[in-house]
Structure 1
Amino acid sequence: MKELINNLKGDKGIWSFVMLLALISFMPVFSASTNLVYVVGKGSTIGYLVKHLVHIFIGFGLIYFVHKVPYHYYRGLSQIALPVVALLLVYTFFQGTVIDGANASRWIKVPFIGVTFQTSALAFIVLMIYVARYLAKMHDKPITFKGSFFELWVPVFVILALILPANFSTAALIFSMVCMLVFVGRYPLKYLGLIIVMGITMVALFVTVVMTFPKVIPNSRVDTWKSRIERFTTDAPGEDDYQIEKAKIAIATGGIYGQGPGKSIQKNFLPQSSSDFIFAIIVEEYGLLGGLAVLFLYLILFFRFLVTAHKAQTMFGKLLIVGLGFPIIFQALINMGVAVELLPVTGQTLPLISSGGSSIWMTCISIGIIISVTRKEEEIAQEQAEKEEREQTLQRMIDEHILREKQREEAEAAGLAEPAAYSIEDASSNPMNAVLGK
């Protein structure tokens, strides 16, 4: 175990807080799984706990593997992976899996393994790396709208267009995070404003076409978006309204100290108690203090991302941390905002805490890339420290040699010692000869 810990390179703070969030997830996931077991009648609580343990174990395996890869390799990998994820999104769009009879066109089933996978999560990571690569390349060069549009924004819009019909919330999150990243990367604001206007116009045009001709685009969930926004802005009842009401009851029941681990009542009524609304279950069982503790951990992790981004010595490294780290925190805040009805229902999970394989794994890949950046900076700092130590040692040897020579000359001048010829031993002990390789 000690050897394994010593092999964990990079920022220890990020490692610690990620592990802590993963450990915290087991109790609420185990508690919320009773809804699936005793209400829905699927599986067993131990089975769901073991399944979550396997997801977490694989996730940390991904972190370990990814953080060992030098982060500048991802610059080239993003160009290769972008067309691949585009093809995966096309396949997902037309062959999306149906889960429990419902349209789940955001997912595909991995052959021979039997697990479902959300391709938009992988596309998110690849796209953010691709954008970071472009901004780092153009950091010291003048940016024109025409050049950046075809090299930067066309790939972004293609990926978003493939995600949008089935998953509006993820497409909106990706677009907002890309805009945030290009803003941090000092992309001209006048061009960014024009891109935002173009994005909003394209979404409005898409919605208009789908609402007018519903059968033109298959697997579209425009009606779902429309009903969710209407229910959020009005008092119209619906399934999402039912979930929000149960989530608010859970939060109100929790009070300050909570009902205690495993004693949640609303987990038996919330359809997504172990994923989308797990924060409500945390507050019901562990109270306001437990909910604030989880929020505090995400904010501390956000602070670590800020610190490591500031320390990164390359623009690509800084942008990678911002582009992959900040969305994890914003997704957590969105999940909490939905639970307290600050935001409409989006379907975004609570990173590292909610159950679900692909969401955990993609978050872990992002964390691994971030730690890879901090690992490189740690190695550079260590090399610099070793270099300074060698220079200090050499300077100390030179000072001692000069002092000995001065003492010998003073002794000879005072007649206390016989003048001695400079011997071979003296020459070999001269530190300057060691530097010159003599």
Structure 2
Amino acid sequence: MKELITNLKGDKGIWSFVMLLALISFMPVFSASSNLVYVIGKGSTIGYLVKHLVHIFIGFGLIYMVHKVPYHYYRGLSQLLLPVVALLLVYTFFQGTVIDGANASRWIKVPFIGVTFQTSALAMIVLMVYVARYLAKNEGKEWDFKASVIELWGPVFIILALILPANFSTAALIFSMVSMLVFVGGYPMRYLGVIVGVGITMLVLFVSFAMAFPKAMPNRVHTWMNRIERFTSDEPNEDDYQIEKAKIAIATGQVYGLGPGKSVQKNFLPQSSSDFIFAIIVEEYGLLGGLVVLFMYLMLFFRFLVSAHKAKSMFGKLLIVGLGFPIIFQALINMGVATELLPVTGQTLPLISSGGSSIWMTCISIGIIISVTKKEEEVAQELQEKEDREAALQQLIDEHILREKQREEAEALGIAEPAAYSIEDAANPMRAVMGK
């Protein structure tokens, strides 16, 4: 174990907060899983806890493997994976798993092992790395709008078009994060404004077409519209069941909470272990528990900012921003939904909510970020070692000069030196310092 911890390279702050968030997740997931056991009648609470443990264990295995790979390798890998991801999204669009009879074609079932996988989460990672690569490649160059439309925005809009019909919240999150990333990467604001305008226009056209011809293609436009109407309406609606139970859970928790495992609303709140787990955390651990979770994400966000600032290459900076910031924004969206600050979206709480693919994709993003920080640490360590060698060599040179001066003074006074000190004697320790 000590050897394993020693081999963990990169920003120790990121490692620490990721581990703390993973540890925090076990009690809420264990408690909320009773909804699935006693209400729905599936499995056992211990079984769900073990399943979550396995997901976390695999996730940290992914972080460890990914952070060992030099981050510049992901530059070329993103170009190779982008067409693969597009094909997976097409397959998901037509063959995706339907949850409880609803048109929620976001997941595909992995053959032989029976695990469901959300392809849009992988698409987001690959797309962010691809955009970071393009921006870094064009750093310092004059921007060509037509070329950027083909090379940058073409792939972005293709991926978004494949995600949008089944998952508006993820498509909106990706577009927002890509827009933020290109802004950080120095993309001209006038061009970005045109792209945002085109994106909004295309969204309006898609929604209008889906409302006019609802059976033309699988989509969830009516679900989005209903959620937005319910969110903006002051009139009570029987469809507000989820958010009402979440609000009751938060109000019941008050300051200190009911205590671990004592949540009542977990028995009534759908998706209590995933989309609405923050409400269960506040009910059981109170306002203080909710603030602790929020503090963890904000500290992780701070470490991302520090790491991005320390990164020497533009590609490294953009990787941290493009992969790290969406994790924090997704967490804030999840908390905003639970507290009714935002409409219901279906975004999980990263590293805390149950679910395999969401945890694994978050861990892959964190692994790439740590790979960037690991490289910067290695460069800093090499510079420090070089400075130490130069200082040791200078010390030996000073000592040699001092001995020579003492010898000359002894000769001038006619005093014999106790032992001869040649230039070869000085060279031997110098060679040792220089590693020769």
- Give the TM-score normalised by the residue count of structure 2: 0.97
Q: Output aligned runs, 1:336-355, within 5 Å.
A: 336-355=335-354
Partner residue in 2 for 1:38: 38
- Aligned partner letter, 2:57: F
- Aligned partner letter, 2:397: I
> For each residue in 1:154-211, what CA deviation from the matched residue of structure 2 results, as whole angstroms up to 9, or x when unmatched?
0000000000000000000000000000011111000001100000000000011111
Structure 2 residue 58 is the aligned partner of structure 1 residue 54: no
> For each residue in 1:46-80, what CA deviation from the matched residue of structure 2 results, as whole angstroms up to 9, or x when unmatched?
11001100100000000000000000000000000
User: Is this contact kept in 1: 2:392–2:433, CA < 8 A?
Assistant: no
Partner residue in 1 for 2:400: 401
Structure 1 alignment gaps of length 5 or more: none
Deviation at 1:236, TM superposition (A): 5.1
> For each residue in 1:257-289, what CA deviation from the matched residue of structure 2 results, as whole angstroms up to 9, or x when unmatched?
000000000111101100000000000000000
Local SS of the residue matching 1:108: strand
Q: Structure 1's 240 and 86: CA in aligned 2 closer, same or farther, altered over 3 A?
A: farther
Partner residue in 1 for 2:362: 363
Partner residue in 1 for 2:313: 314
Deviation at 1:425, TM superposition (A): 4.5
Deviation at 1:127, TM superposition (A): 0.2
- Aligned partner letter, 2:187: Y
> For each residue in 1:370-394, what CA deviation from the matched residue of structure 2 results, as whole angstroms up to 9, or x when unmatched?
0000010111111111101100010
Whole-Å separation in 2 of the counterparts to 1:118 and 1:434: 54
Q: Structure 1's 302 and 272: CA in aligned 2 closer, same or farther, altered over 3 A?
A: same
Structure 2 alignment gaps of length 5 or more: none
Partner residue in 2 for 1:79: 79
Q: Structure 1's 24 and 409: CA in aligned 2 closer, same or farther, altered over 3 A?
A: same
Structure 2 residue 375 is the aligned partner of structure 1 residue 373: no
Partner residue in 2 for 1:89: 89
Local SS of the residue matching 1:106: strand
Partner residue in 1 for 2:126: 126
Structure 2 residue 180 is the aligned partner of structure 1 residue 193: no
Whole-Å separation in 2 of the counterparts to 1:104 and 1:222: 11
Q: Output aligned runs, 1:108-147, within 5 Å.
A: 108-147=108-147
Whole-Å separation in 1 of the counterparts to 2:239 and 2:169: 15
Deviation at 1:140, TM superposition (A): 1.1
Deviation at 1:100, TM superposition (A): 2.9
- Bigger CA drift: 94-103 or 180-189? 94-103
Give the total of aligned pairs.
436
Local SS of the residue matching 1:94: helix
> For each residue in 1:389-413, what CA deviation from the matched residue of structure 2 results, as whole angstroms up to 9, or x when unmatched?
1000100000000011011111111
User: Is this contact kept in 2: 1:230–1:236, CA < 8 A?
Assistant: no
Whole-Å separation in 2 of the counterparts to 1:57 and 1:347: 24
User: Is this contact kept in 1: 2:122–2:361, CA < 8 A?
Assistant: yes
- Bigger CA drift: 348-357 or 419-428? 419-428
Deviation at 1:431, TM superposition (A): 3.7
Deviation at 1:242, TM superposition (A): 1.0
